[in-house]
Structure formats: structure tokens, C-alpha cells
Amino acid sequence: MDSLIKNILTHRFKPAGDLLNILYIVYAFLLPFSGAFVYHTAPFIILLLWVIEGNLKEKLKIILSNKAIILYVLFILFSSLSIMWSNDYSLSFNRLKNYTIPLIVMLTMFTSLNMKYLKFIILSFLFSLFVLEMISYGIYFDLFDYSNYRHASPSNPSTMNHIFYSIFIAVGIIFTLYAMMNSFKENKYLFIGELILFSTLLINLFIGRGKTGQFALLIALITIVVIKNKYKIKQYILFFAASISLLVVFYSFSNNFKETIDRFDYEIRHLSSDKNSSTSFRIGMKLAGLEAVKTSPIYGFGIGSYNTELSKIISESDKYHYLRASAHPHDQYLRIILESGIVGLFLFISFFVYSLIYSYNTGSFRIKLLSYGVVSIFLFSFLTDIPLHDVRISALFGFTMGIIHTLIRNNGQELNEQII
């Protein structure tokens, strides 16, 4: 027994490591399609293989060398501690899982992902996006029976909630850009395929109604352009000219995008008079949530308790009467500060800050493109909904951040070898 424990702590069992990396390839493909597998089943198989692979002492050293991941672990530990003052224990454990599943995928990838498998993992993810968008186009053009997809219609050509679908596609576009940068000089046929995928994903994003992903992608691209060009005014002019031209084209030819923009414009101009709009609802929830936070700003009300506390404020104040049908905060940050206070929110945001610092310090524009692009999308989307409640977005979050931190850790190899 002692020798077995010693082997797990100090030795590496290569077959388990290979199986783990093969599982990442399968995981990457199934991300958009099977929430049950990527959230409820695969993470625990991944964790088991990670333990069997062994070399846990070395893995612990690697984990402790990364402040971003330590901060995310501390965020989960503090959220776990907040169960002690939560008023809904059953919901607490369910909500805690929204954060721990990404951690399992992120940690195991960071310490065990073999760089020789990375190209296959990313290609698997890109292929899954291709299949996903083909289904979407089929729905959009009404080519098959899509009644099995609860949210699907030609006006909402997606296989999931339109907000979460748009986040998926936006993240996929950033990954495609990263892949294109790697294959540009090495494999022209692969580059052409990725360029086609990039174009079709971009069109797919803007024929839908997911303005969260649309705005998030624009912010991500602006961030990438700033990181790349800094003081080159000409490049900014070219980027904004191209972006505005594309938006005009999408507005002219996509009825869904046109209706989304027109509706958003109407809601902004009628914030005070139309309280039934989604924009008014979200702003109202933020204001009500901030009032609730004042009661327990430092430590929050405990994970799983945000519904109860938010409902109290809404029910006790006539100015929030239009919010009484739901206590859904539509804001990931608001949910976190309600549940674990300023402490929890600080730890959560610090994870992203350190992730960006690490990626910037690599000096690799490819890594910065991927990390700044993906992080920008998540940070913006957290303002409009609570994406980490969705099993597929929660899994996507862990998967993408796991790849980003793996690239940061293996920066020398990433710079010297073409991953794709």
C-alpha cells in the first residue's frame, strides 16, 4: 500500500496520461453537444485518470507556481466556506459545482496536457464548431426537422439558449484565429479550411439573435488589435472601417441581426417608459442586487442564497414591481457578490487579471490573441447573464482556460513549434 501511494506521488504512469489526453480530444468535440458528458461524466473520469497518472508531487509544484489558478482555487474554497451562512444548502452544492467542474478540467490540463496532443484537441474543437454551425444553418434555412432542439427556429438558429450559443461561437472564432496564425506558413490547405471556418462562424454569429456574443466578439477583437498595434493609428482606422462595413452588411442582409439591433435601440431609448424590455429588466436587476449587497457586502449571503435575498428586495420595494416575476440576476458578477461578497468577487476577477498578466509576459502574440480574446468574451458575457450556470458554457470555460494556461506554461515550446 505504501509503495502504491509512493508511486502515485512521485512516479508517472504514462498509459494513464495518454488515455487522459485522448479523452481531452473526445471532450473537445462533445463540448457543444453533450452537457451530460462534458459536465456530469467526463470531469470525474478525467480526475481519476489524472490521479492514476501519478507524479502528484510534481503536479502540486506546477499548480502552486501559477497565481491565477491559486486564486481560482481560493475562490472555490471561500465559496465552499460560505455554505456555512447560506440559507439553501441543497442549492449551495449544485451552484458550487458550476465552479468546481471547470477547475477539474483546467487543473488537469494545466499539469498533464501533452503538447503533442494539443493540435488534435484544438482540431477536434474546431471540427465540433463546424458540425454545430452546419446544424445551425440547417435550422436557419429550414432544411430538416429541428423539433428536438427546444430553443431552435429560423429566427433563433441555435441548438441551445441563444445567449450561450453566441458565446460558444464567439469563443470558437477566437480559437479559429489562433489556429490560422499557426497554420498560415506551415500548411496552406489547413489555413484555407480554417479561413473558411472563420468566415462561416462569423456569418453564423450574426444571422442569430445572440447580441451578447456579437458585442463580446467585437470587444475581444478591439482588445486584440490594441495589444497588437498599440500606437499604430492607421491600423485602428483600417480595423474600425472593416468592422463597421461588416456590421452594415450584416444589418442589411440578416433580418435577425437587424431586428436585434432595432429592438436594442428601442429599449435604450425607452428605458424609463418600457419596463418590460430585457434591457430594463437587466438594469433593474443590477440596481436591486446592489441594494441587496449592502446588507452583507464583505462575505455575501452564502452560495445558493442569491434568489432569496434578491427576492426580498424586489418584493419589499414598489420601484422594482416589474421584476417580481423572476429573481434571475442576469449577471454573473452580481450573483457572485451576493453569494460570496466582495471577497469572492475579488478572487474571481483576480484569476482573470493574473491570467492576462501571465499571457502578456510570454511575449507571444499568438498566446495573447487567444487569452485576451477568450477572457474578453467571458468577462463581457458575465455582465449580461450567468453563463457558468449552463453546463456546456461552464465546461467550455474550464476547457479554454485550461488550454490557455497550458500554452503559458509551455511557452518556449509554443514559440518554437507549430502546434497546428
Q: What is the pLDDT of residues 328-380, one digit of tens each?
A: 778 999 999 999 999 999 999 999 999 999 999 998 999 999 999 999 999 99
Residue 412: pLDDT band by 50, 70, 90 thresholds?
very low
Q: How sure is the predictor about 80, in pLDDT bands with cuts at 50, 70 and 90?
A: very high
Residues 6+ apart with CB under 8 A from 226: none
The Cα 283–Cα 262 span in angstroms is: 19
Tell me the one-letter amino acid at 299: Y
What local confidence, expressed as pLDDT, does residue 325 receive? Answer: 61
Tell me what the pLDDT averaged over the chain comes to.
Answer: 89
CA distances from 244 to 100, 177, 211, 261, 373 (A): 40, 20, 16, 14, 19
**Residue 32: helix, strand or coil by DSSP?**
coil
Per-residue pLDDT, 366:
93
Residue 419 has pLDDT above 50, yes or no: no
Strand partners, 255: none
Grid cell, residue 163, equals: 445567449
Q: What is the predicted pLDDT for the residue at 194?
A: 94
When comparing pLDDT for 301 and 274, which is higher? Answer: 301
Nearest to 27 by CA among 375, 400, 379: 400
**Average pLDDT rounded to a whole number, residues 197-216:** 94
- For 275-315, the pLDDT digits (tens) are 777 888 888 888 888 888 888 899 999 998 877 777 787 87
Answer for the pair 115, 411: CB distance below 8 angstroms, yes or no: no
pLDDT band for position 322 (cuts 50, 70, 90)? confident
pLDDT at 67: 96
Confidence band, pLDDT 50/70/90 cuts, at residue 9: low
Q: How confident is the model at residue 414 (pLDDT cuts 50, 70, 90)?
A: very low
pLDDT band at 88 (very low <50, low <70, confident <90, very high): confident
CB 13 within 8 A of CB 53: yes
Of 33-42, 88-97, 156-165, 343-352, the least confident: 88-97
